[in-house]
Structures are given as structure tokens and as C-alpha cells.
Amino acid sequence: MTITIDEMASFCKRKGFVYPSAEIYGGFAGFFDYGPLGSELKNNLKQAWWKYHVHDREDIVGIDGTTVTHQKIWMASGHVANFTDVLTVCTKCSERYRADALIEDLLKLRTEGMKPADMDREIRTHHLHCPKCKGELGVPSPFNLMFKTFVGPRQDEESVAYLRPETAQVIFADFKAVTDTARVKLPFGIAQMGRAFRNEISPRNFLFRCREFEQMEIEYFVHPDKLIDCPYINEVLNHSVLVWSADMQAKKEEPRTMTIKELLDHKIAKFAWHAYWLAMEHKWFISLGAKPEHFRLRQHVPDEKAHYAADTWDLEYNFPFGWKELTGVANRADFDLQQHIKTSGKDLSLYDEETKKKVVPHVIAEPSQGVDRAFLVYLFDAYNDDKERGNIVLHLHPRLAPIKIGVFPLLSNREELTSFARAVFDELRAHFVCQYDKSGSVGRRYARADELGVPYCVTVDFDSLTNKDVTVRDRDTTKQIRVPVDKLAWTIHALMSGAPFAEQGKPVEVKP
């Protein structure tokens, strides 16, 4: 990495991607507002995820559930009782810390699977003190992360509701409504994107750990008697990825690259469905320009897994602050549906035409992805401080780029050029998100566009007035071609779809 997380936060603020929330009042830890460029990039990212996972498939449908949710949903799921992180408080200055994060930072130890007592032992053994005042740290204890609220004018236990800490449980609560109306048949998935809220003890690392964030999530349901039958597995068997299994971690072995076929042949992944979704999530990231070598699959060790999970893996990314979870893919079995059946008293089973019996489907895989973390991944992998050009270049995939085209008149003080450029701009913005810029030299305008990730720039010069064509510049290579104005929109569409740049117009010799 060529940039730290703090430098990325500064860059995002400076360029209008992301701002600290309520900054005029001193800020609000764990909350961020997306600016003009950030909101466009974030929307493009979500649209790309939805197309890949929902629109391009016949086996997944989507919902959009509420963020304020009924308390019994979270009682059934176990969140009210068990959705916790471990808190330790300084006995001198009362500063609060997330115990696992403190141990990882100060001792460089992995804390997956540690209980509060284990963390307390590490704190005492290594004589850890409060980083702020050097006071003694209190005994670590569970802290519930749920945001509690009340619905209606009364504020009693009957009126309690919660801001959802995840999107998954809303899918389970709507399971019967979806299956009654969407004509889905097993195997199938239900997808959802939306906001979630967690009262984090120590929000940190910019967008990586926030108190308000967005998720993109799928619950994929399979017949309980067909857990090993994945009809799509051949599509991904040859896909390669860095793997760190639970056994490798126990033996202190380094991760190694293997194919999905090897993952299954060696019985490292227990279910073909699980392996399939791990590959699909990795493929989604690299299909939009993320670098394959920055990812790995890490299997949860036994002490780390939820009690109901048959197997859980994380797709991790090598952030500047280390390998961290990006996408969780858990095999939740039938735990959630059974819990909601028991708590609600409603029948959430499906009728099986083959056996003429009702079955409760299993969630064989739950690809759960944070939008904000994905946003960071694409920015980190796109960011390049280009010393040769003398400016930052954001090599964002054209589908993700917040602005697709910059339109420039060669000179800003010649009305014939500016009027022609405005006409080109008006034509293009009917099809794309565009930016018109006439300030400064063309070279400086190219640099500004590079820093915003604009993939193509269109320049109107004096030849354009006579020949009715323009120069199109490619951000990544700086190569240029001449394109007739009447074919410009079509040409940009072709470039956005991956057509070779040099073949879309007449090459222009660029002076060094």
C-alpha cells in the first residue's frame, strides 16, 4: 500500500468523497457523510453488486426492510442477549476500550475466539495499562452493541424497538411473505441492501468500523436433504485464491494459493455451496478492478465460530492496518428460521413436491458484505500517486467511477470553443454523469480529472470546429484518439463496456 488509512481519510475529505459527520460541531465518532463524489461512487458500487447478485441471476430476489425493527426479531435471533463486544474501562480516567482491539494493537496478538477471561489474562500477564493515562484497566466484560429506541408516545417495555444491527434478520422475518409472493423454489436466495447500526465501543480506521454503515447481504436457502448439491460449482472450480484454513492457523502455517477444486478435494471447505459463494464474492471484487493478490479466504477457528454455524469463512483484504474481514460467508443451517418459528409461532416451512412433506430450509451460505468496507477496497486498489504525471490517479473501474466523462474546451476565452464544448457536454450528459471544466490549462484539468477517477476526458479544439470531431483521452494510459462528434456517445458506451481504446478512433500523437 502507498497510503495509510488516515491519509485515505484526508484524501476523501479533500476531494469530496467522505466527510466526518457533524464536523462543524466537533465531529461525531463512528459516523460519516458521503459527499458529491462519494455518494456517486457508493451508488455505483451498490448497483453493481445488485446487478451481479440479483439481476444477473434467476435464483435470487430482493427486499428492502425497515431499519427500526420489532424487538421480538432480535430476541428470537439472540441479539438482545448476546450481541456484544468486550469492554474494558480505565479505573483512573474512565476511558473505554474494546479489549480485543487493545490487545491486538499493543501485543500484536490475534484475538479470534478469546473470551473475556482470556483477554483479562492477557492484560494482566503483559501488564497492559490505559494508553491515555497509564491507569489500570478494569476487568473486561460484555457490552451490548444494539441501539435501543421506542416506538410511539409511550416509553415502556412494550414500545421498545431496535435500530437493526444487521440486515439478515429482516430477511428471515420476511421469509414467509417472500415465499408466498415471489414464486421462488429451492435453492434460492433473498438479497437486501441497507443501513445497519452498532454502538461500537471504539470506532476506528475511518470507514472500516463505524456506528452507522450499510450492508449488502444474501441469505441463500437450500433443501436440508440437498446440502451437497450445488449445480453451479463447475463455474468456479478453477478459480484460484489465497487460503488460510483453520488447520493451517492451528499449525501456524502460512496461507497458500489453491483452486476451489482443491479446497473441496482436500475437504477444507465442507460444502460445495459454501465454496461456490466464497469464489463468487472474490470474483465480484476483481471483476470491478480490485487486485486479486490483496485478498484471502480465512476459515474461522473452532472457538471463533457461532454455536449454530456449521462452517464460517471470511473473505479478507490486506488493508494498510492488516488483514481484516471484508465479507463474511457463514453456513447458518436452519438456526434462524427455527428460532423465528419458535418465537413467533408461525409456520415458516416450505412444502416439498418430491417428498410431499414440509421442510425448513437451511442457509447454506450467507454472503454478508459491508458497503463502506468495499468502498475502501476500491479506493485503495485504485489509488496511485503517479510520480511521472506529478498527480494522484484513481484507476477506478469505469462502472464505479463517480464521473464518467470530463468535457473541456481547449481555451476558456474563445466563445466558439466553449459553445461547441457545451453542446458536446449537453449531449453526453443525457447518457453519462459528466463534468464540464474550463478552468486552467488542459493539462491541469486532466490532472484534476485523474484525481477524481474520471476514466475519459473529451477536449474540443480548433480542429473540432472544422472536422466535427474531438479528442478523447484515456485516464489509465493517457493515450488519445480522435472521434467524430456524431459517434461520440456510442464510442464512450463501447469503452465503458471494455472495448479496446486504440480501436475506437484515430490515434493522436501525444507530445511528451
Sorted by where each starts, the structural domains of the chain and their CATH numbers stand as 5-83+145-379 (3.30.930.10), 84-144 (3.30.40.230), 403-508 (3.40.50.800)
The DSSP call for residue 132 is T
Q: What is the pLDDT along the chain (512 residues), one digit of tens a residue?
A: 479 999 999 999 999 999 999 999 998 899 999 999 999 999 999 999 999 999 999 999 999 999 999 999 999 999 999 999 999 999 999 999 999 999 999 999 989 889 999 999 999 999 999 999 999 999 999 999 999 999 999 888 889 999 999 999 999 999 999 999 998 999 999 999 999 999 999 999 999 999 999 999 999 999 999 998 999 999 999 999 999 999 999 999 999 999 999 999 999 998 999 999 999 999 999 999 999 999 999 999 988 887 778 889 999 999 999 999 999 999 999 999 999 999 999 999 999 988 889 999 999 999 999 999 999 999 999 999 999 999 999 999 999 999 999 999 999 999 999 999 999 999 999 999 999 999 999 999 999 999 999 999 999 999 999 999 999 999 999 999 999 999 999 999 999 999 999 999 999 987 66
Rounded CA separation 487/470 (Å): 10
User: Do strands 480-484 and 405-409 pair parallel, antiparallel, or not at all (unpaired)?
Assistant: unpaired
- Reduced to 3 states, what is the DSSP secondary structure of residue 369? strand
- Reduced to 3 states, what is the DSSP secondary structure of residue 287? helix
List C-alpha distances in Å: 308 to 117, 191, 255, 332, 336.
Answer: 22, 21, 26, 6, 9
In the chain, count of helices (H) and strands (E)? 17, 27
Confirm if 53 and 218 have CB atoms less than 8 A apart. Answer: yes
Quick one: residue 276, left, alpha or beta (phi over 0 = left, psi -120 to 50 = alpha)? alpha
- The residue among 231, 211, 314, 241 whose CA lies nearest residue 272 is 231
If one counts every other C-beta atom within 10 angstroms of the C-beta of residue 101, the result is 18
Confirm if 76 and 344 have CB atoms less than 8 A apart. Answer: yes
Average pLDDT value over all residues in the chain: 95
Tens of pLDDT along 325-365? Answer: 999 999 999 999 999 999 999 999 999 988 889 999 999 99
Confirm if 264 and 243 have CB atoms less than 8 A apart. Answer: no
Rounded CA separation 80/144 (Å): 8
Residue 509's pLDDT is 85
**How many CA atoms are closer than 13 Å to the CA of 494, on its beta-carbon side?**
14
Q: Any residues with CB less than 8 A from the CB of 484 and at least 6 apart, and which? A: 468, 469
Rounded CA separation 150/155 (Å): 6
Cα radius of gyration rounded to whole Å, the chain: 26
**How many CA atoms are closer than 13 Å to the CA of 267, on its beta-carbon side?**
0
Confirm if 150 and 98 have CB atoms less than 8 A apart. Answer: no
Rounded CA separation 342/226 (Å): 24
Helices in 236-299 by DSSP H: which ranges?
246-250, 260-265, 272-287
Q: What pTM, to 2 d.p., does this model score? A: 0.94
If one counts every other C-beta atom within 10 angstroms of the C-beta of residue 149, the result is 15
- The residue among 58, 366, 337 whose CA lies nearest residue 217 is 366
The DSSP call for residue 204 is B
Tens of pLDDT along 262-315? Answer: 999 999 998 999 999 999 999 999 999 999 999 999 999 988 887 778 889 999
Residue 34's pLDDT is 98
Residue 413's pLDDT is 93
